[in-house]
């Protein structure tokens, strides 16, 4: 498959994928937090309730997301819509460094009222600020979710 068979994934498809990812993450994080802190965790004030909270709520999602992006080129939500995240120049898998930059870029994209995420709707390559920072694009086969792996034929191991 070549680049002519691909399209950039737009804003609403990516919002849908992000909602799916949020639900999946909640299904993992909530039971873990309840197991450690009990249901009182959700009534407590403050951002961090203890070291396990940092590991479960902050470190686990970061490691999982970076690993999924680097190894599978997508999170569960992106896989369900047939999208993958690739290097914007080569179409190959992101490096670990790109994955880390992209993850940290989500904070940059979110802080100014989500403007860096909304940017996807107006950018010609459908890149958010996090994509621009990491030099990545989100692509899928033209016409929708029928092919999750767009560039794998190019750089098969």
Q: Flag whether pLDDT at 134 surpasses 80.
A: yes
Average pLDDT estimate for 18-47: 94
Name the CA dihedral angle for 95, 21, 129, 113, rounded to a multiple of 10 degrees.
Answer: -150
Q: Helices (DSSP H) in the chain: which residue ranges?
A: 11-37, 51-54, 60-72, 76-80, 96-110, 115-118, 129-134
pLDDT above 90: percentage of residues in the chain:
82
User: Quick one: pLDDT at residue 148?
Assistant: 39
Q: Do the Cβ atoms of 63 and 99 come closer than 8 Å?
A: no
- Residues 63-118: tens digit of each pLDDT: 999 999 989 999 999 999 999 999 999 999 999 999 999 999 999 999 999 999 99
Question: Higher confidence at residue 94 or residue 154?
Answer: 94
- Separation between Cα atoms, residue 115 and residue 80, nearest integer Å: 25
Kindly tell me the sign of the dihedral angle through the C-alpha atoms of 55, 57, 62, 65.
positive
pTM of structure:
0.83
The model's confidence at residue 142, banded by pLDDT at 50, 70 and 90, is: confident
Question: Higher confidence at residue 58 or residue 151?
Answer: 58
Average pLDDT estimate for 53-58: 95
Question: Higher confidence at residue 56 or residue 143?
Answer: 56
């Amino acid at each position: 498959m070549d680049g002519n068979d691909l399209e950039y994934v737009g804003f609403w498809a990516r919002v849908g994928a992000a909602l799916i990812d949020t639900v999946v993450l909640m299904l993992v994080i909530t039971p873990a937090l309840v197991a450690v802190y009990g249901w009182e965790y959700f009534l407590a004030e403050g951002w961090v309730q203890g070291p396990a909270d940092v590991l479960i709520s902050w470190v686990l999602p970061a490691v999982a997301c970076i690993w999924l992006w680097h190894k599978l080129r997508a999170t569960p939500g992106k896989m369900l819509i047939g999208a993958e995240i690739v290097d914007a120049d080569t179409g190959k898998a992101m490096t670990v460094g790109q994955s880390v930059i992209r993850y940290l870029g989500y904070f940059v994209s979110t802080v100014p009222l989500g403007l860096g995420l909304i940017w996807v709707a107006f950018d010609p390559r459908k890149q958010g600020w996090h994509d621009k920072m990491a030099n990545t694009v989100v692509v899928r086969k033209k016409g929708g979710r029928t092919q999750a792996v767009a560039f794998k034929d190019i750089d098969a191991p």
